[in-house]
Amino acid sequence: MQMLQTLFQVETIITVLAALAAFAAVITVAAPMMETDKLSDRMKSVSTERDKLKAAQKAALELGSVSRLREKQSTGLYAQIVQRLRLRNIFDVEATREKLRAAGLRSERNLTMFMAASVLLPLVLAGVTFFEVSTTFAERFSSMGMRMGAAFGAIVIGYYLPVIIVKNYITKRQKSIKRAWSDALDLLLICIESGMALEPAMQRVSKEIGSQSVPLAEEMQLTVAELAYLPERRKALENLAKRTGLETVKSVVTAMIQAERYGTPLGTAMRVLAEENRKDRMSEAERKAAALPPKLTVPMILFFLPVIFVVILGPAVITVLAARAG
């Protein structure tokens, strides 16, 4: 009781608030200094991917056939787990790799960690849950059936948790790319109509759009690298649409492929697509604005109307109560 009284004294509260204010001031001043350049870090990872493509293309030319460059076998803990349990035979490796690439996780190490986590995490969560319900929450989980049920629920959660995290990454990247795609398409149209080829135009746009969307700049840089080293340009553009998973990007990629196949001016097709994209963005904004009044109905009923009733009826109620008391 004496400790509680000390904590709730005015001097103690003022001291704690002053300490929190000082801490917030230090964080506010130091936060910009501790920020890292996300764009440069992501571009470094893309340059690593570009080097891999270059090495793979060089190896294919030396062997006289198109083949993938085998990466060094990893000797880490996750790699040993995947190798001993033969998880590559259980998981659909190519589909899993495509999902991780869509989430921005391109290295083989990310694939190995995902497969190992899909097996280890359910077991770890099940063991921790069973231990907790058997010791800390033993009164609530008195029977063995309840404890086993809690452990089974932990297994299900642990199995789906890596998938949910990857989907969350994919959703965030798609939102960022979709938000900046219209501006990137306009910049790309300006560069192409000024006489630039597709590769330098995408290179230039990736530098300009990086301040607005780092994932989009990263994808465009990677597409430029694939256009330079892949034997088919169509494959590089299709990879861009596959990694982003957005219909707007797929339509632009299809127009680029058809323009290169049939020899039609790319600027004309890009102008039409940019105009359609702007219209779609405007229609989406109008749709969100039209859906706003129904969404505001419940908050207005819960928060605004009671306040209005109190303000309007409050003086009358006070007058009536005062008259009755008199």
The answer to whether 227 and 235 have CB atoms below 8 angstroms apart is no
- At residue 40, the pLDDT reads 60
- At residue 72, the pLDDT reads 47
Q: Which amino acid is at 1?
A: M
Q: Which of 117, 102, 124 is nearest to 161 (CA)?
A: 117
Q: Which residues of the chain have pLDDT under 50?
A: 61-72
E strands, the chain, are none
Domain assignments of the chain as residue spans, ordered by start: 74-173, 174-289
- At residue 164, the pLDDT reads 92
pLDDT tens-place string over residues 151-195: 899 999 988 999 999 999 999 999 999 888 888 888 998 988 888
Q: Could you please report the per-residue DSSP string of 48-116?
A: HHHHHHHHHHHHHHHHTS--PPPPPPP-SHHHHHHHHHTHHHHS-HHHHHHHHHHTT--SHHHHHHHHH
- At residue 64, the pLDDT reads 42
- At residue 170, the pLDDT reads 92
- At residue 98, the pLDDT reads 86
Task: Please name the residues in contact with 261: beta carbons below 8 A apart, sequence gap of 6 or more.
Answer: 234
- At residue 31, the pLDDT reads 65
- At residue 63, the pLDDT reads 47
- At residue 110, the pLDDT reads 85
The upper half-sphere exposure of residue 263, i.e. CA atoms within 13 Å in the direction of its Cβ, equals 0
Give the pair of three-digit tokens for residue 188.
């790309």
3-state secondary structure of 17: helix
Q: How far apart are CA 119 and CA 161, in angstroms?
A: 11
